Structure 1
Amino acid sequence: MKRKFYLVVLITLIFSCAPNKSYEEFKTVKNTKDDYPIIPLPEKMQINEGRFLIDKNTSVAAADSLNWEADYLVNMLSQASGFELNRSEEHAQGHQIILKVDSSIKNPEGYKLDISYNGIKIIGATAAGVFYGIQSLRMLLPPSSEKEAISDLTLPAVSIDDAPRFPYRGMHLDVGRHLFSTTFIKKYIDLLALHKMNRFHWHLTEDQGWRIEIKKYPKLTEVGSRRKETIVGKNFDPYKSDGQAYKGYYTQDQIKDIVAYAQKRQIVIIPEIEMPGHALAALAAYPELGNDTGPYEVATKWGVFPQIFAPKETTFKFLEDVLTEVMDLFPSKYIHIGGDEAPKKEWEESAQAQEVIKREGLKNEHELQSYFIQRIEKFLNKNGRMIIGWDEILEGGLAPNATVMSWRGIEGGIEAAQMGHDVIMTPGSHMYFDHYQADPKNEPLAIGGYTPVKKVYSFEPIPDALPASKKDRILGAQGNVWTEYMKTPDHVEYMVLPRMSALAEVDWTPRGMKDWDGFKTRLFQLKERYEALGYTYASHIFEDVDQ
């Protein structure tokens, strides 16, 4: 009787471990192009026969150096399939997904993804490459799997050998005009990760609000993070406000948490501390840093204001102290120092500013701004960091090691690249996602302009006018989100999607492989993923294919 009992138990165990379906059933399944809606489009992709079934025997094998990536994938596939996937040793019995690092892959962000009916391999040059391979695999899953389990979940067989075209693939977010919760900032970072973007430009200080805690200067948040009211719409003249106080900032602990969250998703956060202009919030907190034109008040309306930092030693000491704390929070190689829209009228009328011009042998106030920026650059360089500035920093002479963000067209980028400086292309004509995307009569209020998805997709970051020897100075492109007229997370999402998806392909996919019609087809499937993930998006392109 005992032997009979053990035999029954053994048979029961065998059947309980067996898959519901034979893997062989999926060996010769035919796949079509529609099964591969990956955005951004991979550099090389071969469609193969077969599908990989995810079941209770599926496991993920990875070295300890890829623990986080492996756990991320396990969680994703467990959610998608309804099975609790496990970690395993490589080549252990079962249906395996193997993650590996292979330094022979030349591009540090490159990866290979191979899916067959009986196994999956994701091999990256680094952990970043492995993470991007996981994102491509994710886009092969049914969009609805983002929120609910799919029975008999399979992935189409494929061989992908992929790497990004540009090393800088960025999105910006202004939190000076309107503040967004840490929960939303993480959701925004998740969106960048889905699109294989690797830079988040966080615009933290403005005339209308200082949003980062600086312990040495508490008034920056006690005073500078608060405005007494906010303009209603575009009621500049006559001025009309909402009469409601607005406040908020990020603590250093919150920032550390967000930086760590982004790092795991292969995203570097580049903080922006504006100078010498867009400084009203800082001047309201510390008026002694101004050109004796106070009293100062945190701005309640939008625009460019004449009040800027004074080019004096107390200002430089203040900014160096601020940047020291910023560097402690952000490990980014780059610190963005703004440099844009800084009217020179106060400096023209300031005896102190004129004395600095005379003392330093400068020609004019533009060269004074260059002197100001170069002082800051030297400090950051001494601390192992580099500056990025908007293209106005070209005026009066460019700081020696500066990287330029070209926003007033592409001309500033061309000029900087020809001078031997690195450039990030972000022209207002194509990369400003605060512009309208359709007829303004039917759209939420925006700053102006007209930038539909098709226009974003058409952008080419490397100008034809640039000599071949200077083309590698173009690091990539970035989409900018200025939030004067965006009060809520839903509004931000609406303005960036699906334009961010178009930008992702501009930054990643080889120029000769870009295909508007193919992109639109894949975008229709990505729309379903937006919905499953709970993102708000603009629907124009899905209603009018010429958008």
Structure 2
Amino acid sequence: MALFSKYVWQVAVAGALGTVSLLGSRLYAQTADTQQWIDGIASNMQVHYQVLLNKGDGECSLPSLPPSPKSPCSIVELSLSSPDKLAANDLDGNWSIYFSQTDPIYAHPAGEFTIDHINGDLHRIRPSASYQGFNVGEVKKVQFIVAGLTLTEAKIMPNYYVVAEGQDNKQALYSEARVIESTRIRIHPETGLEERPFAGEISRQNFKLSQADKTPYADAAFIFNENKNVNKLGFVAQDEALRTIIPTPTFVMDSGKNIDISAGINLQLQGVEQDAVAPALAWLQALGLKQNPAGMPFVVSVSRASLPSRSPVGSYQLVVSPTQITIFAREPVGAFYGMQSLASVMIAGRNTLPVLTVNDSPRYPYRGMHIDVGRNFHSKQQILDVLDQMAAYKLNKLHLHLGEDEGWRLQIPSLPELTDVGGKRCHDPQENTCLLMQLGADVSGKSERDGYYTRQDYIELVKAANARHIQLIPSFDMPGHSRAVIKAMEARYRKFMAAGNKKAAEQYLLSDPNDKTQYKSIQFYSDNTINACMESPYKFLGKVIDEVKAMHSEAGQPLTVYHIGADETAGAWAQSPICQAFFANNPYGVENAKQLGAYFIERVAALLETKGIKTAGWSDGLSHTNPKNMPAKVQSYIWDVLPWGGVAEANKQANRGWDVVLSHPDALYFDFPYEPDPKEGGYYWGSRHIDTHKVFNYMPGNLPALAEVYPSPTQTGFEIAGTTPLKQGVQWAGIQGQLWSETIRSDNAVEYMIFPRLIALAERAWHAPSWEPPYNYEGATYNANSGLFSENKKSERDKAWLKFASVIGYKEFVKLDAADIHYRIPTVGAIIQDSMLHANLAYPGLGIEYKEAGKDWQPYNKPVQVKTPVLVRAKAATGDRKGRALPVE
């Protein structure tokens, strides 16, 4: 069926996409028959992805191929089948299937298909010269070696798509691209969780980083024993949990008595405007605390004399007496937090409050949450919902990651290409209208994973944050991780060059068109790094900062901190002619490409300083700078893994006088799996799993002591030497949780990954526990056997966790349900002994259900006789949502 050869001709004029597609200089006609054939493939082809082998120690091999290098690798089998007969000469073989493979394909045997790496994670399968077509129902298997491991199903990306296109390097289009329906994500109707019907199970044998990996498989029996061991001291009583404020205050005196508030409260504000506490007041009202002039007096007094002068910002005193509720604070934010503490013990449906006195102050001035909307976009409403919960738990910094390789998410009206091109992904090989497909995004460019915030959206977000006493810190990663903005400005360049306006074209160009450097970023891009030798990137950044600064001013929250990213790409710039000329003649002393990363960061920091903005960035990039060339105050986010030097680097940068925000992946990366189970979403390079208990156990006041508590990523011991201690009196600015969105594809998934871990983050950021061992400023070496973290302190910690877990189970889950937050419902631990099912949970207050083969789900209240096979699952605190079911063997 040779459809195309007669339609190809050379043209020298521009045309619009419609019945024809213009790419480069060739014009190709599209026909209804071609599109119908592609649509048929998209509707009917079945795709199945199966990990055959994960080998963390290398080598992987397939017939006719040499073994892979001795590094982590896997073997994958991709099965393709069609219910219809497909002839070998259909479309003259001019069709391709594109798919995202997050680790690149190292090699594949010769066969009926070839596989190419395009860029980033995008790969292409197309018929080879030996392609024989498909018989009806025939399954064709394509095996390949991957340069990396696949230990979670979340790394298996969806939305393969098919398109008719040329075989040359122009990839000329003959049809519109269509997603292959069998590769779409499905949402489970009862859990709301993603399912991948096209992905095979990852076996236990393939669930190891290496032969040394001791990570257990979190089946029902493992979880049962873990819960049993952790909970051996028992949860606290429900009434005690309901009276407990989270995060834990500095001092609480609870009388054990209650007051009746059924008549409501008479709010009296002194020294503070209602706007400054409005969201907290709205939350109290949503929980049932109504205003009534005849109600109980509720006095909120803000004055500099209310608390001691050395009280940290945000301190407050809350007194609930039999006749009056009073909050004292030195600033409006303290009054706001006092109201949030009152809301913490306010239970919907109850008309009582505990009689108590609270004196409270925050542990750290920086208590943050980072959300990446660059890789996959998340809606404005999602961010607003998270802001509400951050405020409820007294977090005060939202680090919003707006620019990445896969997307630019903020409208700058004077630079429309940033969002018109950089804000969506589709199939446009020339990237004139959108970015290349990545991370299994929908090829339409219109899914919830693509998009951006309009200028007004962003102003609304900043206003909402400000109303909740949260600082919004914007970030566009540079000079690496910048592919989206680079391609957007290249599209702008081409547009103005076509119009004959070279000056405008080059004004904000971020790349050297003649750069022949070959490099690969950590995400396998070959073109994602801004050229630091050009002047236009600094003009561009100045333009963007001015625009964002204006948005913040309009929103009423000045832009005082900007996160530059500061990620670099090894090997970039070496063969750029512009850089070669720059090395030969510049006033900065830069002589080679290795010096450019530090130069870029130092120059951007100087630019920000002229605008009154503090520079923030990730620790690795900032570590390459010369502190003498940096502003006196820099905000550095430490993301080094603890066993790999994460403590020493934190200490080193804090000792410089920089404001250090701890962001360790070992406990603070909320895109990592909750449990070691392939069905739990996320990446795992820094920790195989991070549950809420692990976040709770984080000890920012004594990081080296975590070597006695945490395992390495392979669940083995490690040591933290005391050779680079903090200087006496040096303190962290604070801590921050991170949500990177490579595998986070929906707003519900954002909430699932953040909650309830965010509550433990807030606990550690606000409250210094008595069980945390004091830091040794002389330096001390910790490992699993050092014994410096005493058993008494560990026992005290374990009791504190059980109380904390009780509060989450009895109270916080209920409030999250009321706020429509899609938190993670824990998986059920269960065993069968003598035909009796025994089940437990990490939190009290949730229901458990079990199901025998052929029967309906039944409530579980106590051990019950069953016949295998059996499934178990938990229910949400309120409502009908269910947790992920596990088999019990």
Interval of TM-score (by shorter of Structure 1 and Structure 2) = 0.7 to 0.9
2: CA distance between counterparts of 1:305 and 1:52? 65
Q: Structure 2 matches for 1:12-161, cutoff 5 A?
A: 33-56=240-263, 58-63=265-270, 65-69=272-276, 71-72=278-279, 74-81=281-288, 84-86=290-292, 94-104=295-305, 105=307, 106-142=311-347, 145=348, 150=349, 153-161=351-359
2: CA distance between counterparts of 1:519 and 1:98? 30
- Which residue of 2 is the match for residue 5 of structure 1? none
8 Å Cα contact 1:62-1:70 kept in structure 2: no
- Which residue of 1 is the match for residue 695 of structure 2? 456
The answer as to 2:739 corresponding to 1:481 is yes
- Which residue of 2 is the match for residue 314 of structure 1? 536
- Comparing 491-500 with 511-520, greater Cα deviation is found at 511-520
> Which of residues 329, 334, 342 is equivalent to 2:561?
334
8 Å Cα contact 1:60-1:74 kept in structure 2: no
- Which residue of 1 is the match for residue 433 of structure 2? none
Change in CA separation of 1:365 and 1:37 when aligned onto 2, cut-off 3 Å: farther
Q: TM-score, normalised by structure 1?
A: 0.83
The answer as to 2:510 corresponding to 1:289 is yes
- Which residue of 2 is the match for residue 348 of structure 1? 574
1: CA distance between counterparts of 2:744 and 2:427? 16
> Which of residues 274, 281, 284 is equivalent to 2:477?
274
Using the TM superposition, give the Cα deviation of residue 85 of structure 1 relative to its aligned residue in structure 2, in angstroms.
1.2
The answer as to 2:812 corresponding to 1:526 is yes
> Which of residues 425, 437, 444 is equivalent to 1:244?
444
What SS does the aligned partner of 1:132 have? helix
- Which residue of 2 is the match for residue 11 of structure 1? none
Using the TM superposition, give the Cα deviation of residue 316 of structure 1 relative to its aligned residue in structure 2, in angstroms.
0.8
- Which residue of 2 is the match for residue 178 of structure 1? 376
Counterpart amino acid of residue 522 in structure 1: V
8 Å Cα contact 1:208-1:280 kept in structure 2: yes
Counterpart amino acid of residue 265 in structure 1: R
2: CA distance between counterparts of 1:362 and 1:116? 67
Change in CA separation of 1:541 and 1:470 when aligned onto 2, cut-off 3 Å: farther
> Which of residues 434, 437, 448 is equivalent to 2:671?
434
Using the TM superposition, give the Cα deviation of residue 221 of structure 1 relative to its aligned residue in structure 2, in angstroms.
1.2
Using the TM superposition, give the Cα deviation of residue 244 of structure 1 relative to its aligned residue in structure 2, in angstroms.
3.3
Question: Which structure has the larger Rg?
Answer: 2
What SS does the aligned partner of 2:245 have? coil
1: CA distance between counterparts of 2:727 and 2:676? 42
- Which residue of 1 is the match for residue 784 of structure 2? none
2: CA distance between counterparts of 1:44 and 1:541? 34
- Which residue of 2 is the match for residue 325 of structure 1? 547
8 Å Cα contact 2:401-2:476 kept in structure 1: yes
2: CA distance between counterparts of 1:480 and 1:255? 20
Using the TM superposition, give the Cα deviation of residue 530 of structure 1 relative to its aligned residue in structure 2, in angstroms.
1.4
Cα deviation code 1:296-353 (max 9, x no counterpart): xxx9x9655543111211111111111111122232321000012x214231222322
8 Å Cα contact 2:637-2:663 kept in structure 1: yes
- Which residue of 1 is the match for residue 753 of structure 2? 495
2: CA distance between counterparts of 1:483 and 1:239? 10
8 Å Cα contact 2:272-2:301 kept in structure 1: no
1: CA distance between counterparts of 2:471 and 2:267? 27
8 Å Cα contact 1:179-1:248 kept in structure 2: yes
> Which of residues 530, 535, 539 is equivalent to 2:825?
539
Between the two proteins, what is the percent identity of the paired residues? 28
Using the TM superposition, give the Cα deviation of residue 444 of structure 1 relative to its aligned residue in structure 2, in angstroms.
3.6
Using the TM superposition, give the Cα deviation of residue 114 of structure 1 relative to its aligned residue in structure 2, in angstroms.
0.4
What SS does the aligned partner of 2:469 have? coil
The answer as to 2:452 corresponding to 1:220 is no
Cα deviation code 1:343-370 (max 9, x no counterpart): 1423122232244345222354343211
- Comparing 109-118 with 508-517, greater Cα deviation is found at 508-517
Query: Which blocks of at least 5 consecutive residues in structure 2 are unaligned?
Result: 1-237, 429-437, 491-508, 553-557, 705-721, 772-796, 829-839, 845-889
Counterpart amino acid of residue 347 in structure 1: W
The structure richer in helix per residue is: 1
8 Å Cα contact 2:635-2:661 kept in structure 1: yes
> Which of residues 399, 405, 410 is equivalent to 1:201?
399
The answer as to 2:256 corresponding to 1:256 is no
- Which residue of 2 is the match for residue 233 of structure 1? none
1: CA distance between counterparts of 2:825 and 2:286? 28
Counterpart amino acid of residue 98 in structure 1: V
8 Å Cα contact 1:436-1:443 kept in structure 2: yes
Q: TM-score, normalised by structure 2?
A: 0.52
2: CA distance between counterparts of 1:534 and 1:313? 48
Using the TM superposition, give the Cα deviation of residue 425 of structure 1 relative to its aligned residue in structure 2, in angstroms.
0.5
8 Å Cα contact 1:60-1:70 kept in structure 2: no
1: CA distance between counterparts of 2:538 and 2:370? 26
8 Å Cα contact 1:368-1:396 kept in structure 2: no
2: CA distance between counterparts of 1:535 and 1:518? 22
Using the TM superposition, give the Cα deviation of residue 521 of structure 1 relative to its aligned residue in structure 2, in angstroms.
2.0
Cα deviation code 1:472-521 (max 9, x no counterpart): 44111100001111111111111011111111111010132663222222
1: CA distance between counterparts of 2:296 and 2:672? 48
Using the TM superposition, give the Cα deviation of residue 439 of structure 1 relative to its aligned residue in structure 2, in angstroms.
2.8
8 Å Cα contact 1:211-1:249 kept in structure 2: yes
Counterpart amino acid of residue 424 in structure 1: V
Aligned Cα RMSD in Å? 2.8
Change in CA separation of 1:293 and 1:209 when aligned onto 2, cut-off 3 Å: farther
8 Å Cα contact 1:193-1:267 kept in structure 2: yes
Change in CA separation of 1:140 and 1:69 when aligned onto 2, cut-off 3 Å: farther
Using the TM superposition, give the Cα deviation of residue 195 of structure 1 relative to its aligned residue in structure 2, in angstroms.
1.0
Change in CA separation of 1:412 and 1:265 when aligned onto 2, cut-off 3 Å: same
What SS does the aligned partner of 1:169 have? strand
8 Å Cα contact 2:405-2:528 kept in structure 1: no
8 Å Cα contact 1:290-1:307 kept in structure 2: no
1: CA distance between counterparts of 2:726 and 2:481? 36
- Which residue of 1 is the match for residue 124 of structure 2? none
Query: Which blocks of at least 5 consecutive residues in structure 1 are unaligned?
Result: 1-30, 231-237
- Which residue of 1 is the match for residue 785 of structure 2? none
Indicate the structure whose relative CO is greater, using CA pairs within 8 Å and at least 6 residues apart.
1
- Which residue of 1 is the match for residue 139 of structure 2? none
Change in CA separation of 1:57 and 1:243 when aligned onto 2, cut-off 3 Å: closer
Using the TM superposition, give the Cα deviation of residue 293 of structure 1 relative to its aligned residue in structure 2, in angstroms.
6.0
Cα deviation code 1:446-483 (max 9, x no counterpart): 46631121221122224455645465441111000011
2: CA distance between counterparts of 1:239 and 1:270? 25
Counterpart amino acid of residue 338 in structure 1: G
- Comparing 53-62 with 348-357, greater Cα deviation is found at 348-357
8 Å Cα contact 2:615-2:635 kept in structure 1: yes
1: CA distance between counterparts of 2:613 and 2:416? 25
Give the number of aligned pairs: 492
> Which of residues 645, 654, 659 is equivalent to 1:417?
654
Change in CA separation of 1:396 and 1:446 when aligned onto 2, cut-off 3 Å: closer
Using the TM superposition, give the Cα deviation of residue 440 of structure 1 relative to its aligned residue in structure 2, in angstroms.
2.5
8 Å Cα contact 1:366-1:396 kept in structure 2: no
8 Å Cα contact 2:439-2:742 kept in structure 1: no
2: CA distance between counterparts of 1:38 and 1:338? 35
Change in CA separation of 1:56 and 1:303 when aligned onto 2, cut-off 3 Å: farther
